[in-house]
Amino acid sequence: MTTPTGQNFTAAQEQAAMQKMSVVVNLLETVCGVTDAVKKLKNHPIHDYKDFLFTWTASSCVSKDELKHLILELQQYKEDFKQSKNTWVKHRTAMLVDLMQEMIDGNLAIPKRAHELLAEPYPYPEVVQVEIKTKKFHHTLATDTTCPSCQHHFNATEIVEYVEVGYRCPKCRQAIRVI
Secondary structure letter of residue 143 according to DSSP: S
Provide the residue type at 128 as one letter.
V
Query: Please, how many CA atoms are within 13 Å of residue 66, restricted to the half-sphere of its CB?
Result: 13
Percentage above 90 pLDDT, the chain: 10
Secondary structure letter of residue 85 according to DSSP: S
Taking the C-alpha atoms of residue 87 and residue 78, their distance in angstroms, rounded to an integer, is 12
Helix H or strand E segment including 65: helix 64-82
Confidence grade of residue 113 (pLDDT, cut at 50, 70, 90): very high
Confidence grade of residue 5 (pLDDT, cut at 50, 70, 90): very low
Helix 11-32 × helix 87-105 angle, to 10°: 170
Taking the C-alpha atoms of residue 11 and residue 169, their distance in angstroms, rounded to an integer, is 71
Q: What is the mean pLDDT of residues 58-63?
A: 72
Phi, psi angles (nearest 5°) of residue 88: -60, -50
Q: What is the mean pLDDT of residues 48-73?
A: 80
Weakest mean pLDDT among 58-62, 63-67, 97-101, 114-118: 58-62
Q: What is the mean pLDDT of residues 50-58?
A: 81
pLDDT tens per residue across span 14-41:
888 888 888 999 999 999 888 887 888 8
- The per-residue pLDDT for 131 is 53
Work out whether the CA dihedral 84, 39, 91, 17 comes out positive or negative: negative
- The per-residue pLDDT for 111 is 92
Confidence grade of residue 12 (pLDDT, cut at 50, 70, 90): confident
- The per-residue pLDDT for 1 is 37
